[in-house]
Amino acid sequence: MPDPSGPAPRRLVFSDVDETLLSGKSLFDFLDFYFAGLHGADGARHAARARRRIAALVAAGAPREVGNRVYYEAWKGERLDDVTAWGTDWFARRSGTPGFYVPATRAALRAHRKAGDAVVLVSGSFPAVVDPVAVDIGADHVLCTRQETREGILTGAVVGEPCIGEGKRRAVRKLAECYPDISLSDCYGYGDHVSDLPMLSAVGHPVVVGGSRELVAEISGARVLPATGPV
């Protein structure tokens, strides 16, 4: 929600996270990091099984939304406090390594913040992973998939719909309603995959990170940023 005590932003800037702001797939990296770290060899095998199941779905043509829900099923029975604490540790370890962030996107978001824009992270990932990133880059909002819990234990389900595909578009539009003086036609969006198209098509200034041919073909005149190397 907007901060009534602060200055109103000029625009909203929406950015995907994995392979747009971060160079890798944080969802899978954290899956391995957590389960192997907390549960040892059994946890590593559990994470590997989840990865294989999702890979099979993708190979069969299942949409990312389906794979996203299957991913969260792997977390059933874990304590939310443990997952959150390990997310903080994961970020502390990974963020110090070269290439953690996509340089061009990181620089672009810095420039947006300096210009008085509000930065919003929009991700199919979940708070344990996204929140530390948001704090580090100074994001104003996080729109992401939320896991269902019961008495502090993850159920393996998500609350509402995953923040992916059309879910991203709906989340973007819902947040924009909180800023009635800002038109989405004046706002920016950053994404790397065709599943980001609903979000990118909701804003007036879409930016494709990495130059996906499929995504560029869908968005006429979109700006393209490199996914690797210097800005």
* pLDDT for 11 beyond 60: yes
* pLDDT for 220 beyond 90: no
What's the confidence (pLDDT) of residue 227?
A: 84
Q: What is the overall mean pLDDT for the chain?
A: 94
Tokens of 24: 């890798």
What's the confidence (pLDDT) of residue 79?
A: 98
Rounded to whole angstroms, the Cα distance separating 168 from 183 reads 17
**Where would I find the H helices in the chain?**
26-59, 64-73, 80-94, 103-114, 127-137, 166-176, 197-200, 213-218
What's the confidence (pLDDT) of residue 65?
A: 85
In Å, how far from its chain's centre is CA 157?
18
Rounded to whole angstroms, the Cα distance separating 36 from 148 reads 23
Closest CA to 13 of 171, 203, 211, 163: 203
141-144 sheet: strands from edge to edge: 141-144, 118-123, 12-15, 188-191, 205-209, 223-225
- Of all residues in the chain, the percent with pLDDT exceeding 70 is 96
User: What number is the average pLDDT over the span 157-186?
Assistant: 95
What's the confidence (pLDDT) of residue 1?
A: 54
C-beta neighbour count of 52 within 10 angstroms = 10
What's the confidence (pLDDT) of residue 155?
A: 98
6: pLDDT confidence band, cut at 50, 70 and 90? low
Q: Pick 65 or 202 by higher pLDDT.
A: 202
What's the confidence (pLDDT) of residue 2?
A: 59
Domains present along the chain, CATH in parentheses: 12-225 (3.40.50.1000)
Tokens of 178: 């909180």
4: pLDDT confidence band, cut at 50, 70 and 90? low
pTM: 0.93
What's the confidence (pLDDT) of residue 230?
A: 54
Torsion of CA 193, 78, 84, 175, to 10 degrees: 50
Give per-residue pLDDT as tens, 71-106.
999 999 999 999 999 999 999 999 999 999 999 999
Rounded to whole angstroms, the Cα distance separating 170 from 150 reads 26
Closest CA to 162 of 78, 70, 71, 69: 69
120: pLDDT confidence band, cut at 50, 70 and 90? very high
What's the confidence (pLDDT) of residue 203?
A: 97
* pLDDT for 231 beyond 80: no
What's the confidence (pLDDT) of residue 3?
A: 57
